Amino acid sequence: MKGKVAVVVAVVITAVTSIAAGIHVVGGHGHGSEPHVVVAALMRPPHVPPPVNRDRPATVLVSLETTEAEGRLASGVTYNFWTFNGTVPGPFVRVRVGDTVNIKLKNAKSSVNFHSLNFHAASGPGGGGSIQVPPGEEREFQWKAMHPGLFVYHCMTAHVPIHIANGMYGLILVEPEGGLPKVDREFYVMQGEFYTQGRTLEAGHQAFDMAKARAEHPEYVVFNGSMDSLLNEGALGAKVGETVRLFLGNGGPSLVSYFHVVGAVFDTLYENGAVGAAPLKNSQMTMIPPGSSAIVDFKLHVPGRFFLVDHNYFRGHEKGTIGALDVAGPAVPTVFNASAGTALQGH
């Protein structure tokens, strides 16, 4: 790589939420020249890197590491997750249409299995999944981001559904030229299934159950890797008057998600993560097949707690697909008035 460092743009991200902080533009041949290399900022769910602040393509370096480690699935329940960069889902990746995406995939020495990466946004054999990485080794490959949209990535190592069922999936956004319309807040929510030998909420460490996986009978269906990841201290936060964007994904590997925000209407919906055609307007929910995605924008008109659910409600209350968006701000009784009915009865 020739030339000196031309520009360094720092991205300030707290250690709790970032995996790789900073965008570094390397190369160029004078004022206004095209950047050669950008080191991607990768963010842990539910956090999202900032919009791409470039008006031209670059080569984007993305470093990911596959791990196999015990983690918390629910209160009192642990599971041996297979991950990208230690989280389920893996970190959110954000690039621009026209970028060349250079992937550096490392498989931790402690891993037992080979691992790999299939990007649904990539045009090439296996979406990159033909590159298999043994434990303790590292491989690189690159692809051209030719299609804007929100795409799933996942492990593509046999037996593929087992790798996905253990947590190996994430999202990559390929921004269109000029980016998406601006919003106040963006969040990353991805649904997935876990097939455990013990029943739902049976305490202790739980192993993967192949018979339940083949029957498509998960004990857990959760957002962002655990039963209450978006509740309590994990609840999302925003303010009245703001517009929120949710980048949604369904890792699967088997069930369709019927995503809904209780008490909100999606002003804008990009079905299947597709960007280019006009989005849908005024939608109550979106159906997300396994291995697919959606982008939803909605304005927050009143304060309160808004639940994020899979509208197959037995999954939410029994198995884990429930989260919360807590909205702060003054009441707006002309939009929603919980006491209006009682007041009217007194007249």
Q: 19 and 132: one domain? A: yes
Q: What does the pLDDT read at residue 34? A: 56
* Residue 347 domain-assigned (yes or no): no
What confidence tier does 338 reach under pLDDT thresholds 50, 70, 90?
Answer: confident
Beta strands in 21-154 (DSSP E): 23-26, 37-39, 42-43, 59-74, 77-84, 93-96, 100-107, 118-119, 138-144, 149-154
- pLDDT at residue 26, as a whole number: 44
Mean predicted confidence (pLDDT) in 165-180:
97
Domain co-membership, 135 together with 73: yes
Q: State the pLDDT at residue 258.
A: 98
Q: Residue 69: pLDDT above 90?
A: yes
Q: Do 206 and 166 share a structural domain? A: no
Residues 2-25 have a mean pLDDT of: 32
Q: Check whether residue 119 and residue 99 sit in a common domain.
A: yes
Q: Is residue 334 part of a domain?
A: no
pLDDT surpassing 80 at residue 285: yes
Q: What is the pLDDT of residue 33?
A: 54
C-alpha closest to that of 72 among 151, 141, 180, 167: 167
Q: What is the spatial distance between Cα 58 and Cα 38, in angstroms, rounded to a whole number?
A: 7
Confidence of residue 9 (pLDDT cuts 50, 70, 90): very low
Q: Are both 23 and 83 inside the same structural domain? A: yes
How high is the pLDDT of residue 7?
A: 28
User: Containing domain of residue 127, as a range?
Assistant: 7-175
- pLDDT, tens digit, for every residue of 226-282? 999 999 999 999 999 999 999 999 999 999 999 999 999 999 999 999 998 899 999
Would the pLDDT of 135 be above 60?
A: yes
What's the predicted TM-score (pTM) here?
A: 0.90
Q: Is the pLDDT of residue 333 over 90?
A: yes
